[in-house]
């Protein structure tokens, strides 16, 4: 089965810096990968989708990369703000749809 | 609001109770999903419905029984649950589905279930 690893430790950064979150996977070659944001007590919210033939995708302050050789996706938030504080989940298709456990981001003013 | 609503938001039930969770989407999507989210664990996909037909059941115990009467409504019927079933149950929808959705999923706020 698919295994997805996201850093379980919270990432603490200062406002204005770039946050970089990692998603590593094994056992499959997904056709695409998605990133979601989840706030406490709420359902995840879709942010970005990147396909296997895309190296990089951007949306406003967000950037996602997808390295199928390393089996890794990086999620960047530039000029981070306290409002970006949340848990970020990656998800991909394998024999079924899998989510990672998420990484909690804390942006301090 | 995401366009996906879930009721109730909180539910406490005993192991011998029967209860149902309800999900409704107002987005015109054709696929709906049930997920379980336990503390410190990844979201677990439970069931997938595409055009009202169940296309996936990820080895979920029979004490969880889904029902999809139409593309806008999804239910999860609960019967003789165990304390380890306590979790946040999330409903989601997407434009198209199947085993591997290629479109973004829209999630509801979830039902926080506690089994005593």
Q: How many CB pairs under 8 A join A and B?
A: 56
pLDDT attached to residue B102: 63
Q: Is B2 a residue whose pLDDT tops 60? A: no
What are the beta bridge partners of residue A88?
A37, A103
Of A58-62, A94-98, B49-53, B83-87, where does mean pLDDT reach its minimum? A94-98
Residue B33 Cα, gap to closest chain A Cα (Å): 11
Rama region for B40: left / alpha / beta (φ>0; ψ in -120 to 50; rest): left
Pairing verdict, β A62-67 and B18-25: unpaired
Q: Do B40 and A101 touch (CB under 8 A)?
A: yes
Gap between the Cα atoms of A31 and B26, Å rounded: 28
Q: Evaluate whether A98 touches B42 at the Cβ level (below 8 Å).
A: yes
Q: Which one-letter DSSP state was computed for residue B86? A: -
Look at A97 and B99 and tell me if their CB atoms are within 8 Å.
yes
* pLDDT tier at A77, thresholds 50, 70, 90: very high
pLDDT in tens, B58-116: 789 999 999 999 999 999 999 999 999 999 999 999 988 755 556 789 999 999 999 99
Going through chain A in order, the beta strands assigned E by DSSP cover 3-6, 11-14, 19-26, 32-38, 45-51, 56-59, 62-67, 72-77, 86-93, 97-99, 103-108
A46/B4 CB distance under 8 A:
no
pLDDT at position B52 over 90: no
Owner of token pair 């926080």? B112
Q: What whole-number distance in Å separates Cα of residue B55 and Cα of residue B74?
A: 14
pLDDT of residue A67: 92
Closest residue in chain B to residue A50, using alpha carbons only: B102
């Amino acid at each position: 089965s698919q295994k997805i690893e996201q850093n379980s430790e919270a990432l603490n950064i200062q406002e204005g810096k770039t946050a970089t979150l990692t998603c590593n996977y094994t056992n499959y070659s997904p056709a695409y990968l998605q990133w979601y944001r989840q706030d406490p007590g709420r359902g995840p919210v879709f942010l970005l989708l990147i396909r296997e033939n895309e190296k990089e995708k951007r949306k406003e302050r967000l950037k996602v990369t997808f390295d199928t050789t390393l089996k890794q996706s990086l999620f960047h938030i530039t000029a981070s703000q306290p409002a970006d504080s949340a848990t970020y989940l990656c998800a991909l298709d394998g024999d079924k749809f899998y989510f990672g456990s998420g990484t909690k981001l804390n942006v301090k003013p | 609001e995401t366009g996906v609503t879930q009721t109730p938001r909180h539910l406490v039930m005993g192991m011998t109770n029967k209860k149902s969770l309800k999900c409704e989407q107002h987005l015109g999507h054709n696929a709906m999903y049930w997920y379980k989210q336990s503390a410190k664990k990844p979201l677990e996909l439970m069931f997938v419905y595409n055009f009202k037909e169940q296309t996936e059941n990820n080895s979920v115990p029979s004490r969880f029984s889904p029902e999809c009467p139409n593309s806008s409504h999804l239910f999860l019927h609960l019967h003789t649950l165990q304390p380890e079933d306590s979790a946040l149950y999330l409903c989601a929808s997407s434009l198209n589905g199947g085993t591997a959705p290629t479109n973004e999923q829209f999630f509801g706020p979830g039902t926080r279930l506690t089994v005593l």
